[in-house]
Chain A
Amino acid sequence: MGKRICGDTNMVKAYLYTIELMITLSIVFLIITFVFNAPSFRPDFGKNVIKKSIINSAEYMYYNDELRKFMENNNESLVEARIIQMVPDTITIEVSDNCDTANLPQFLDVYRVKYYIAGYQERYFFKRICISGWEQ
């Protein structure tokens, strides 16, 4: 009988260990799910999105020679209007042919892409154009 009592106690202990182990594993899996469900901090991709939007729209204008054509006549306002059509509404665009910073906001993150133009059709000229953008 004494042996049986001892055996029962061991069995109860074994059950308890198994239950504890299963509870621990459940907690571990629950926390894994919780931790990997959402990043612990929100990465700031906003600035990269702005920059990428400006680059993509400027590339489009550059490769179909619109940028070249507009810059031949120093028509920055046309470049600006075309870029505004292509970027999200939340982004404000400023185009400058001498890359000055006078009209840029002082307290916001401004992203800027630069292009060089060496002429249009047969005419040679050198132009530097800066397209700046920031979130409103």
Chain B
Amino acid sequence: MNGFLNSLELFLQVSAQMGTHVLFATLGAIMGEKVGHLNLGVEGMMLMGASFGFSVAYQTGNPLLAVLAAALAGGVGALIYAFITVTLRGNQVVTGLVLTIFGTGVSGMIGKSISGLALPDSITAAFAAKAIPVLSDIPVIGKMLFDQSIYVQMALVTAVIVYVYLNKTSIGLNTRMVGENPAAADASGIGVTLYKYSNIVAGGCLCGIGGAFLSLVYVPSWQDGITAGAGWIAVALVIFATWNPIRAIAGAYLFGALRGVGFKLQGGIPFLGGVVISSQLLDMLPYLVTILVLVFIGLRKKKENQPPKNLGNPYFREER
């Protein structure tokens, strides 16, 4: 039993790591969608964050600057998106897609100069997993939460902050109102454009930070397309989490866990008499589950789980 508990703890620990970049990105996407803007550029912003973050980390050796650079890169990407979709009222889907292609290209260009390089020790040391005494000995969840890189823990803290911000503050209330009914928000004196810009850009910063988790902490090195589609998973996880930052934690960690389950089941499924499933099929697990969850949520139609009412619609003041 002890062996099982131990391996469960280690499994949860890895799952949290594999879910961290997705969690940051999901939170970023939630912030954008809460003001009514569906941003399909998550993948692009993550890649920009990953490449700029790595580049600055390599040149300065300063972990804080690296994270700031990653946030800035993601934020700039989001700013372009916000300008086109908020101010110019361009099509959100097309703009988001272009932002992803754009981000992939930019990161590829930055990546030329940093691929194959190793990070300075100051960075790896700052982001290394550190066990917090006592707390990390808590059964089951101790290792997952308290024997981790500070980056993993910051993702959790960020999720709580975003939750509190959206649901417990008056600014958050205004933010949600902008996404639900911008005309009413405008009438009550809320600066719709300002709210949209600031939330979209802040969300972009989170996406950039999420991407940098891979290049700075988890891998840690640069490779082309390092996010490998995590940005798209994040877009889907927003729906999975029903726009709730706390549920996003569960979604992101589940995604990380499914990746790990695939490796575990290669030798055969223990409870089904060791039936062997091809590893290609196992690699599909997280994506299959994502589709299933999307279907399930679509069928359930609970009122509090619905998207912001004006998600995807540009706001024309004149048409009020």
A, B in one complex: no
- Residue positions of B touching A, CB distance < 8 A: none
